[in-house]
Amino acid sequence: MAFISLQEAAGRLGVSLSYLRDLLDRVDRIPTVLDAEGADFWTSTTGVIHERDLRTYEHMLRHRRFVRLRERYADVLVEDAVLAIRPGWKSILEHVCDRIRWMPAQWSMRLRKAKEQSGYLVLGFEYDRDQPAAYNELERLREEIRLMSLAVCEECGRHGRFRYSPSRSLTLCDKHARLAEPVLPGDGVIADPASDGALLSELPHD
Ligand SMILES: [Zn+2]
């Protein structure tokens, strides 16, 4: 049975070592890494994985880069569209793309960017700025998607809620809540970081 180091695995997958470690953590595969007893997963240089696991990770990376979605919706995405969100929001992304397909052709609407910011999904578009109706429709769509994303785990797509964290506020399900840990006072109270802004500033800081 062949084993390869994490470093080599990262190289063959075309990602950095820290990205690969992060991926293994997210998908609960840290226990599949073999290492000396007591070695720390995050800093050890001697950890190895089964070479055959590379295929699994290749598949995960394609999923995370939305390779198939980019092909399927090539008509409504700008070339090299930035899709900087985790796979749990894929269905929301598909919803956005479907909505664009129904927009009037003269708007020349294309999705340019989808990224996570403060725990919710923000969108960027390219379109004909001489079409005032397009702007109004976009504002509605942006807010609808923002609110939708605040109820869906960005990691897995199950029902989630906003997690208020000092390092990284995210919308996650109970299973993935650990990705936003530790959380701050106010976690579980704040459902929408944008509309609960006043509440945020009233919370105790220590
Ligand atoms: Zn989840």
152: CA distance to ligand 1 center in Å?
8
Instruction: State the average pLDDT over residues 82-100.
Output: 97
C-alpha–C-alpha distance, residues 134 and 150, integer Å: 24
In the predicted model, is pLDDT for residue 203 greater than 60?
Answer: no
156: CA distance to ligand 1 center in Å?
4
Instruction: State the average pLDDT over residues 77-93.
Output: 96
31: CA distance to ligand 1 center in Å?
19
166: CA distance to ligand 1 center in Å?
20
Tell me, what DSSP letter sits at residue 125? E
pLDDT, tens only, 17-60:
999 999 999 899 999 999 999 999 999 999 999 999 999 999 99
23: CA distance to ligand 1 center in Å?
14
34: CA distance to ligand 1 center in Å?
26
In the predicted model, is pLDDT for residue 199 greater than 70?
Answer: no
8: CA distance to ligand 1 center in Å?
29
64: CA distance to ligand 1 center in Å?
14
Crossing angle (nearest 10°) for helices 53-64 and 6-13: 50
Buried b (16+ CB within 10 A) or exposed e, 176-186: bbebbeeebee
C-alpha–C-alpha distance, residues 165 and 167, integer Å: 6
Question: Which residue pairs from 103-110 have beta carbons closer than 8 angstroms and sit at least 24 positions apart in sequence?
Answer: 103/134, 103/137, 104/131, 104/133, 104/134, 106/131, 107/131, 107/133, 107/134, 109/76, 109/134, 109/138, 110/76, 110/77, 110/78, 110/81
86: CA distance to ligand 1 center in Å?
10
133: CA distance to ligand 1 center in Å?
36
In the predicted model, is pLDDT for residue 146 greater than 80?
Answer: yes
79: CA distance to ligand 1 center in Å?
29
Which candidate, 30, 24, 31, places its Cα nearest to that of 10? 24
Give pLDDT, residue 8: 97
Give pLDDT, residue 186: 85
Give pLDDT, residue 198: 52
Give pLDDT, residue 116: 95
191: CA distance to ligand 1 center in Å?
17
Give pLDDT, residue 206: 46
